[in-house]
Structure 1
Amino acid sequence: MIPDMRTPRFTIPSPVARIVARLPAAPPAFVLARALDFGVGRIVSREQVAPLQGKRFALVVRDLGLAMHVESTPAGFRVARAPYAPDLTVAATLSDFIALARREEDPDTLFFARRLAVEGDTELGLVLKNLLDGIDWRTVLERIVPFPGPRRPAA
């Protein structure tokens, strides 16, 4: 859990979701692809992401009506252009995705509670889950945004 506060469960208000659902999906998918590219070599090795090469993914934020489609290529991750069938689709609410990223919720628990849907290549889903589970998110997040807390004495 990062830090010691749990993220409250929330739902995106319907008017906001209706607006977001009408916006182009490419900009958020581009940000997702760039974030994934940033992590390769810094957070995970190229060898670890090799099984993902040539695969297409859809990340669906249910309560926003947002579906981000990315694919893994030899040059890195990029926005996947529709129409195509993704190899793997992962869907949840924004609140549940945040809880997963903060490790406040276990993916298996959310899956069996039907709050996380995984469709498509289940073996690929397991590879992705194990890859994400191996990341020390606290260290990654602390590099990006230092968490408030007791200050260490100056040396």
Structure 2
Amino acid sequence: MDQNFTIPKFHLPAIIGEIGKRLPQWPHTLTLIAGLNVALKMKLLPESELTALEDKLFSIHVLDTGGKATFTYRDGLFRPQFQTTREPDLAFAANLSAFLQLVARQEDPDTLFFNRELEITGDTELGLIVKNMLDAIEWPNLPKLPLFSR
């Protein structure tokens, strides 16, 4: 990512979250799952840690958009879970800006957690495994987009 571009902290208006939680959740769930599976195919995720994710239920809730994605890892793939009968083994909740900052590596999960911008609930050991997996990802260098070039 361009060193001159930073993602600001922002909070979307409450009306967006109210509308978002009433919309179908499957589109962004499938998008997230597709991205995770592409990361698997590109071998960006440490394979040695993936066995710890087997049959675990994960939830990601983007608070200010109202979006929620629930998924599992089974038989070598991330899979969406549209109806669950149990609590997730590990759940993350934050506003969109915090998730974007996390993905862009502008902020780390520990800082966001201790600043109360990222809520993590569930299995602590599993949370550490996922955090270490995220930290170990070596993002490929992508071509610069004209939008972000100067």
Common fold, TM-score beyond 0.5? yes
After the TM superposition, which parts of structure 1 deviate over 4 Å for at least 4 consecutive aligned residues? 147-150
1:103 maps to 105
* In structure 2, C-alpha distance between the alignment counterparts of 1:53 and 1:65, rounded to whole Å: 27
* In structure 1, C-alpha distance between the alignment counterparts of 2:89 and 2:101, rounded to whole Å: 24
Deviations along 1:1-46, whole A, 9 cap, x unmatched? x221211111112222222111111221111111111111311253
Report SS of the residue matched to 1:40: helix
* In structure 2, C-alpha distance between the alignment counterparts of 1:44 and 1:115, rounded to whole Å: 25
Task: Tell me the TM-score normalised to structure 2 length.
Answer: 0.87
Query: Aligned residue pairs: how many?
Result: 145
Q: Does the aligned pair in 1 maintain the 2:54–2:75 contact within 8 Å?
A: yes
Task: Tell me the TM-score normalised to structure 1 length.
Answer: 0.85
Q: Does the aligned pair in 2 maintain the 1:3–1:147 contact within 8 Å?
A: no
2:123 to 121, 124, 139: 121
* In structure 2, C-alpha distance between the alignment counterparts of 1:118 and 1:94, rounded to whole Å: 15
Aligned runs of 1:6-155 on 2, under 5 Å? 6-42=6-42, 43-80=44-81, 81-137=83-139, 139=140, 142=142, 146-148=144-146, 149=149
* In structure 1, C-alpha distance between the alignment counterparts of 2:130 and 2:46, rounded to whole Å: 13
* In structure 1, C-alpha distance between the alignment counterparts of 2:84 and 2:30, rounded to whole Å: 14
Report SS of the residue matched to 1:109: helix
1:153 maps to none
Q: Residue type matched to 1:146 in 2?
A: K
Change (3 A) 1:94 1:37: same
Structure 1 range deviating more: 82-91 or 117-126: 82-91
1:75: Cα distance to partner? Answer: 4.6
Q: Does the aligned pair in 2 maintain the 1:92–1:116 contact within 8 Å?
A: yes
Q: Residue type matched to 1:69 in 2?
A: T
* In structure 2, C-alpha distance between the alignment counterparts of 1:39 and 1:117, rounded to whole Å: 24
> Structure 2: which 5+ residue stretches go unaligned?
none
* In structure 1, C-alpha distance between the alignment counterparts of 2:63 and 2:88, rounded to whole Å: 17
